[in-house]
Structure 1
Amino acid sequence: MRRYGKNPDEDDVRVRPNPKGNRPRSSNRPKHEDAAEGMVLTVDRGRLTVLVGDREVTAVKARELGRKSAVVGDRVAVVGDLSGAKDTLARVVRVEERSSALRRTADDTDPFERVVVANADQLAVVTALADPEPRPRLIDRCLVAAYDAGLDPLLVLTKSDLASPEPLLETYGMLDLAYVVTRKEDLEAGEIDAIRDRLSGRVTAFVGHSGVGKTTLVNSLVERQRLTGVVNAVTGRGRHTTVSALALPLPDDAGWVIDTPGVRSFGLAHIDPSRVIHAFPDLEPGTAGCPRACSHDEPDCALDAWVAEGHAEPARLDSLRRLLSTRDRKEGD
């Protein structure tokens, strides 16, 4: 404020008192070197269940993580109350580097991708052979997402007591996919050694359309049971109760399975088509002669000559092109 008859100086500047003292704010964050290591089992409305040792601890994301989030399968650092007792809360202060990340978008026009599962090494694509009918386009999309994330795909066909698996297996024959065929009677009797062998020693994420028997299969594999849904006996209506992903250990420390909610669609807006070719080692060398940014489905694509010279089977190239074009087609086409 100017004083009349006097030129203003520094004494005329009003300074707001600092009730917290004059110590400058530090940008250094605590390193939490004594934090415990854990694995995220599930995430529900901002609360994370983290396995720390042999205890399941409820935790929230610490403020210093900012916008970075933790998902099922993440390895995290946790501080606070790690007793696992009721009404106690810990904090996730660090998310460790991921070995893999299965991603999806809401649809093919949505630029926002989200991580569904972290640190899995296998993706089990579960589909029923009948009731409901198989959806090959959805299977294709899940396969593309698996190849992009570096996960080994496993095709799990359920309800083989209602329909033969041969037509669907023939469709994917040239992809050299690992697969398992199950029957309802086998699951009820606990005869699941074939699929258990495929899961041993691995972290496997299960994806599939609602109603294909995915959670029923998971229940048969693990000691801990998940709800499979309640259907109204009068109207026949109901909904699948798997509403959030959940990591569950296989008996005898044989591996992990991650049950995910049933999906109606699997958006691939985040997928770089150039990465899908890595899943076709017999075709990938042939791309050396392709034009820049080749879609592998155009007149100048070098893969046609590569296959014509006998380096790979024509059906393999057809499979690649079908998967690459799945972004341009609706899942019901």
Structure 2
Amino acid sequence: MVVGVDRGRYTCWLDDQVVVAMRARELGRKSVVVGDRVALVGDLSGGPDALARIVRIAERRSVLRRTADDDDPYERVIVANADQLVIVTALVDPPPRTGFVDRCLVAAFDAGVDPLLCLTKADLAADGAAEEFRRHWSALDLPVVTTRRDDEPVELEERLNGRLSVLIGHSGVGKSTLVNRLVPDAERATGGVSAVGKGRHTSTSAVALALPGGGWVIDTPGVRSFGLAHVSPASLLAGFPDLAEGAEECPPGCEHRSAEEGCALDEWVAEGHASPERLASYRYLLASRGDFVS
């Protein structure tokens, strides 16, 4: 398994040892990312000067992607073969954003990866802040864990064991701090949050780390945006399962703009099946992708 990528060199985990490899020419322009299962030839000793070659990439079970912006046609593969996407969001410093979580949920559903919401810095937040933030997804079967800076992330660790999980979130939310607690010898760099509420980038590349209890955790660089240009309108709606059922009552070809144009989602929300905030978020994502102009 590829566990790190750095300037054309791929760190691979093979039989409990680290092997550094380069990509063989016969692979052409195929990308190799963290989480890929690859076939190696050449010097597999793992010595300081050893260099193997990646000659084949196994079929991926899942591919987690994003684009820089919603109108950016170039998609970026974040990781391959992940089982679980851990959406790391601080309750304060920087403040949580429901829209970012919604984007990550869409990407997880599109990739066929299980989502998990991890709320950090609960010890800095006001009483009830976690419950209030979780309310936005009360209609979903979305697992949520809450962590504190002064406690071990026991519940999170239990949900990670035995799985390949990727952590993603804005800079400064505490991803690398969590990784250092989950994998004591990880030594991932950590940083604070600036005066304008934006975190400093501390992790510069994705890296997979073996968990003491089994499984892997992938730490990724903090992201400022999570574009969904690669997700089709149908998959975007699938990322809002609390709305998707109501959309079945819409007329054929409905673009889900508004009730005035025949969309049934407004009535679905009025009946209490989903929150107005979720519908607003869905329509905002549609508009930002250019699927319709509001």
TM-score by length of 1: 0.76
Aligned pair 1:110/2:72, yes or no?
yes
Residue aligning to 2:220: 260
Query: Following TM superposition, by how much is the alpha carbon of 1:145 offset from its aligned partner in structure 2, in angstroms?
Result: 1.1
Change (3 A) 1:125 1:324: farther
Residue aligning to 2:138: 173
**Greater relative contact order (CA < 8 Å, ≥ 6 in sequence):** 2
Q: What are the within-5 Å matches in structure 2 for residues 304-319 of structure 1?
A: 313-315=272-274, 319=278
Q: What are the within-5 Å matches in structure 2 for residues 1-333 of structure 1?
A: 39-163=1-125, 164-186=129-151, 191-229=152-190, 239-253=200-214, 255-279=215-239, 284=244, 287-298=247-258, 299-303=261-265, 313-315=272-274, 319=278, 322-323=281-282, 325-329=284-288
Instruction: Work out whether residues 171 and 199 of structure 2, in 8 Å CA contact, stay in contact via their aligned partners in 1.
Output: no
Distance, in Å, in 1 between the alignment partners of 2:277 and 2:93 is 29
Instruction: Work out whether residues 69 and 229 of structure 2, in 8 Å CA contact, stay in contact via their aligned partners in 1.
Output: yes
Instruction: Work out whether residues 126 and 214 of structure 1, in 8 Å CA contact, stay in contact via their aligned partners in 2.
Output: yes
**Percentage of pairs with the same residue:** 57
Give the aligned residue type for 2:55. V
Query: Following TM superposition, by how much is the alpha carbon of 1:59 offset from its aligned partner in structure 2, in angstroms?
Result: 0.6
Query: Following TM superposition, by how much is the alpha carbon of 1:103 offset from its aligned partner in structure 2, in angstroms?
Result: 0.4
Change (3 A) 1:295 1:257: farther
Instruction: Work out whether residues 283 and 317 of structure 1, in 8 Å CA contact, stay in contact via their aligned partners in 2.
Output: no
Distance, in Å, in 1 between the alignment partners of 2:12 and 2:159 is 26
Distance, in Å, in 2 between the alignment partners of 1:184 and 1:305 is 42
Distance, in Å, in 2 between the alignment partners of 1:230 and 1:192 is 19
Instruction: Work out whether residues 183 and 210 of structure 2, in 8 Å CA contact, stay in contact via their aligned partners in 1.
Output: yes
Distance, in Å, in 2 between the alignment partners of 1:44 and 1:262 is 17
Distance, in Å, in 1 between the alignment partners of 2:46 and 2:213 is 23
Deviation track 1:141-165 (CA, whole Å, cap 9, x = no partner) reads 1121112111111111111111131
Distance, in Å, in 2 between the alignment partners of 1:148 and 1:325 is 18
Instruction: Work out whether residues 24 and 53 of structure 2, in 8 Å CA contact, stay in contact via their aligned partners in 1.
Output: yes
Distance, in Å, in 2 between the alignment partners of 1:112 and 1:280 is 24
Query: Following TM superposition, by how much is the alpha carbon of 1:172 offset from its aligned partner in structure 2, in angstroms?
Result: 2.3
Query: Following TM superposition, by how much is the alpha carbon of 1:264 offset from its aligned partner in structure 2, in angstroms?
Result: 0.7
Instruction: Work out whether residues 99 and 281 of structure 2, in 8 Å CA contact, stay in contact via their aligned partners in 1.
Output: no
Any unmatched runs of 5+ in structure 2?
193-197, 290-294
Q: Which has the larger radius of gyration?
A: 1
Query: Following TM superposition, by how much is the alpha carbon of 1:326 offset from its aligned partner in structure 2, in angstroms?
Result: 2.4
SS at structure 2 position matched to 1:185: coil
TM-score by length of 2: 0.86
Change (3 A) 1:50 1:115: same
Distance, in Å, in 1 between the alignment partners of 2:222 and 2:245 is 37
Residue aligning to 1:28: none
Query: Following TM superposition, by how much is the alpha carbon of 1:203 offset from its aligned partner in structure 2, in angstroms?
Result: 1.1
SS at structure 1 position matched to 2:278: helix
Give the aligned residue type for 1:120. A
Instruction: Work out whether residues 196 and 221 of structure 1, in 8 Å CA contact, stay in contact via their aligned partners in 2.
Output: yes
Distance, in Å, in 1 between the alignment partners of 2:202 and 2:167 is 15
Distance, in Å, in 2 between the alignment partners of 1:198 and 1:238 is 26
SS at structure 2 position matched to 1:248: strand
Query: Following TM superposition, by how much is the alpha carbon of 1:192 offset from its aligned partner in structure 2, in angstroms?
Result: 2.1
Any unmatched runs of 5+ in structure 1?
1-38, 232-236
What's the C-alpha RMSD, in Å, of the aligned pairs?
Answer: 2.6
Give the aligned residue type for 1:225. A
SS at structure 2 position matched to 1:77: strand
Deviation track 1:89-126 (CA, whole Å, cap 9, x = no partner) reads 11111111111111011111210101001110111111
Deviation track 1:30-58 (CA, whole Å, cap 9, x = no partner) reads xxxxxxxxx00011111100111111111
Distance, in Å, in 2 between the alignment partners of 1:170 and 1:303 is 19
